[in-house]
Amino acid sequence: MDRIVLDHMEFYGYHGCLSEERQQGQTFFVDAVLHLDLRAAGEQDNLAQTVNYADVFTKIRSIVEGEPANLIEAVAERIASMVLREYPSIVRVEVTVHKPSAPIPGPFRDVSVSIMRERG
């Protein structure tokens, strides 16, 4: 299966269980891998035969920068659900939400959650 990869998209959101996270917000990074057949798009050089990744980016931004969630698992689920609902040609989506400023009492590089969802 072919893929479109949106890697390390940066957004500012207010997700977390702690009140400080909800008030101050923090930077989140999102990776999305969209699995679909890109043969027709490549052969015809036609945007209508693929998924407009700028549009996907904008919709992911609206989720991450929108309604707060307690868990980044919920943010990932919202993104995956939106992708499968809005883009019928995508058969599988992998989403990783990174929270590099998670409130952990010690040194770490990143915390992330990755999910994969498929059509029916």
pLDDT in tens, the chain (120 residues): 999 999 999 999 999 999 999 999 999 999 999 999 999 999 999 999 999 999 999 999 999 999 999 999 999 999 999 999 999 999 999 999 999 999 999 999 999 999 999 998
The confidence score (pLDDT) of residue 17 equals: 97
Please state, as a whole number, how many other Cβ atoms lie within 10 Å of the Cβ of residue 74. 15
The pair of three-digit structure tokens given for residue 62, joined into one six-digit string:
């609206």
Residue 31: exposure state from Cβ atoms within 10 A (0-12, 13-18, ≥19): middle
The confidence score (pLDDT) of residue 112 equals: 98
CA nearest neighbour of 33 among 60, 72, 13: 60
Residue 17 structural domain: 2-118
Instruction: Choose, from 7, 99, 115, 118, the residue flagged as catalytic.
Output: 99
CATH number of the domain bearing residue 83:
3.30.1130.10
The pair of three-digit structure tokens given for residue 22, joined into one six-digit string:
């909800």
The confidence score (pLDDT) of residue 120 equals: 81
Under a CB-based contact definition with an 8 Å cutoff, are residues 101 and 11 in contact?
no
| Overall domain count for the chain | 1
Q: Does residue 59 have an active-site annotation? A: no
Q: What does pTM read for this prediction?
A: 0.97
